[in-house]
Each structure stands twice: as C-alpha cells, then as structure tokens.
C-alpha cells in the first residue's frame, strides 16, 4: 500500500500496516476530530485522529523506527472516543488520558489482536506500553513524534505555516540514542513557538472552549438521564452526535444548538462575573539540541527559548474565562 500524507509525502508501507489501516478500528478515526466538538462551530478545524495516526506512523518510519514501533504509532490513538478529549471534561479527568485508561480493553475486544497475530506479532508486547517506544512517546518536555505530528499538522492547517518551513524543521531532526534531538538552537526555538500556537492560541481559542463546555454538559445530561452510555462514545463523531440529538431532551438540544448559533461572548478575567472557566492540561516543550560536545535542553542555552516556555506555562496555568453578552 502507498500512503499519502500532505506533510510527509508518499510512503510504501508493509502489509501488516496496510491491513491495520483498512481495519474498522482505524477507519473509525476518520470521523473522530482532533479539535473535538469545536469542529461543529468551525468546520475548518477538521484534522482527524486518522490523519494524525498515519502521520505519527510515517514519522517513525522516516526516522528509522522498527515495524513494531510503527504499529504502535499507528494504533496509539485507536481508543479515542467521539469528539476526542471532551470525555475528559465530562468526567473531570484532569490528566486527559481517558483514552489510555480504556485502550487495553478496547484492543482486547477488537479484531486487532487477530490481525497482528496473523503476521506473527504479539499485540500485548507492542501496544500496552507506548513509553517503551522512544520515538513515539516521551514525557514532556521532550519531543516525540506524537507531539511533533499534531503540532506540525495544526500549524500548517490552522496557522498557515509554510510546508517548506516544516520540511526544513524535519531535516533538522537527528535521532541520538533513541531520542529526538534538533541540530540547532534556531529550530528548537522555532518549534517552541509553533507548539505555543497550538496549546495557547488554538486550544484556548474561545470557540474551542465554548464547544467543549456545551458538548460536555450535553453528554453529562445524557449520561445522568441514562439516554446514552459511555460505550456510545466509541461511535464516530457523526454517529454519536446523531444519537445525542435523538434523545429529544430540550436541554441537550439547546446546548447543541449553541454550536450552530453561538451567542456573543468576550474573554474576561477571573475577577469578572464569568460564565465559563477552563484550564486544560499543562503542556510545554523544551527540545534537546546538539552542541559540539554535548546534548542539552534548549532552555539552558537560549534565553529566547526559556522566555517562551515561561510564557506558555503562565498562560496555561491562567486558563480562560468567558462571559456571554
């Protein structure tokens, strides 16, 4: 199978990967949006978990990762629920990892184990500990291809960062002792700035925050009234939204109606009489850079990087407050 990606180009992938890509579990991700319910307010925020999963797999392939790590990359988001992280707000799960909590059971109950066994792979060894894969997953603030892919994909699509610039950044990546290292301070500073666009300008866009508030409230009502179940969230976005609307609940329909006709709002401060307050998971990066004699976090050699990191952390901790007019 030839896989095409807007950022990374064309790659021929092994048969096991092709089989997994065509599976129902991966195909479902074509209708699970990275932006969650914000897609309903702004349809241009249309990146999907499918695109991201393919992208992570291809980055791992491009930089020499094993076939096992490529499989792990392709399947790392397979357990995301409809509208992605909205379930974490529904359940007040501040670690944003509900999809990780249910991943093992979802895989056990799926066709994935049999598909991998068909090609001689043990799904338990590959899929139940992503942290064993240094290219796929690293604890913040280090870079990993999960973090890199969604950042590059979103700044390209939503912030018009040129594709050529993204290619230059990719060419600056070196893999040293299974860690992602950048060859210059310039590109480390550059990536911190792109990451800030995603975690501050995009994640905290008022439309994003409002959509999460309305959808999470609608889901909470549906669960409380036993009109939907947590299992329903394993549908696609479209199918789950249809089921939520079919409940006929006036309150749920009113909340969902806000997506079609958002009320006027303004961003305010914590001292104001606000209607919505959100603080998302704290996210920041401090990429490793290679110097003539050592590898160090860029913040230790770049004042610019340290300032950007501090600003990102301060803005994340502050969160967002919204008042409807």
The pLDDT of residue 271 is 87
pTM for this predicted structure? 0.97
β-strand pairing of 276-278 with 9-12: unpaired
* Structure tokens belonging to residue 236: 């696609």
What's the pLDDT tens digit per position in 114-130?
999 999 999 999 999 99
What's the pLDDT tens digit per position in 158-197?
999 999 999 999 999 999 999 999 999 999 999 999 999 9
What's the pLDDT tens digit per position in 20-59?
999 999 999 999 999 999 999 999 999 999 999 999 999 9
Give the Å distances, CA to CA, from 176 to 28, 162, 172, 210. 35, 27, 13, 42
What's the pLDDT tens digit per position in 218-249?
999 999 999 999 999 999 999 999 999 999 99
Instruction: Say whether pLDDT at 66 is over 90.
Output: yes
Strand partners, 181: 174, 288
**Other CB atoms closer than 10 Å to residue 210's CB: what's the count?**
24
The pLDDT of residue 102 is 98
The pLDDT of residue 87 is 97
State the angle between helix axes of 237-246 and 250-260 in degrees (0 to 180), rounded to the nearest 10.
140
The pLDDT of residue 111 is 97
Residues 228/61, Cβ–Cβ less than 8 Å: no
* CA–CA separation, 4 and 238 (whole Å): 25
What's the pLDDT tens digit per position in 253-300?
999 999 999 999 999 998 899 999 999 999 999 999 999 999 999 999
The pLDDT of residue 268 is 94
User: Mean pLDDT over residues 145-159, rounded?
Assistant: 98
* CA–CA separation, 229 and 238 (whole Å): 16
186 burial via Cβ count (<10 Å: 0-12, 13-18, 19+): middle
Q: What is the CA radius of gyration of the chain?
A: 20
The pLDDT of residue 325 is 84
């Amino acid at each position: 199978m030839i896989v095409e990606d807007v950022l990374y180009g064309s790659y021929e992938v092994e048969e096991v990967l092709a089989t997994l890509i065509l599976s129902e579990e991966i195909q479902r991700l074509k209708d699970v949006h990275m932006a969650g319910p914000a897609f309903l307010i702004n349809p241009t925020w249309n990146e999907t978990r499918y695109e991201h999963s393919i992208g992570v797999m291809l980055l791992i392939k491009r930089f020499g990762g094993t076939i096992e790590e490529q499989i792990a990359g392709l399947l790392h988001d397979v357990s995301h629920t409809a509208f992605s992280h909205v379930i974490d707000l529904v359940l007040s799960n501040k670690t944003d990892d509900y999809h990780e909590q249910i991943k093992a059971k979802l895989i056990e109950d799926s066709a994935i184990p049999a598909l991998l066994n068909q090609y001689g792979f043990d799904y338990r060894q590959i899929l139940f500990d992503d942290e064993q894969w240094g290219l796929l997953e690293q604890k913040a603030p280090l870079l990993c291809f999960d973090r890199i892919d969604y950042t590059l994909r979103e700044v390209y699509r939503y912030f018009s960062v040129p594709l050529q610039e993204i290619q230059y950044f990719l060419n600056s990546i070196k893999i040293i002792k299974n860690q992602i290292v950048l060859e210059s301070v310039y590109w480390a500073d550059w990536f911190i700035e792109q990451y800030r666009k995603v975690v501050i300008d995009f994640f905290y866009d008022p439309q994003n925050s409002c959509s999460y508030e309305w959808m999470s409230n609608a889901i909470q009502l549906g669960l409380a009234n036993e009109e939907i179940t947590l299992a329903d969230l394993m549908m696609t976005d479209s199918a789950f939204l249809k089921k939520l609307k079919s409940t006929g609940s006036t309150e749920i329909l009113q909340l969902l109606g806000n997506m079609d006709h958002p009320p006027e709002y303004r961003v305010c401060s914590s001292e104001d009489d606000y209607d919505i307050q959100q603080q998302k998971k704290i996210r920041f990066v401090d990429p490793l850079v290679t110097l003539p004699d050592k590898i160090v976090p860029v913040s230790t050699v770049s004042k610019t990087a340290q300032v950007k990191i501090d600003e990102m952390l301060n803005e994340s901790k502050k969160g967002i407050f919204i008042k409807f007019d």
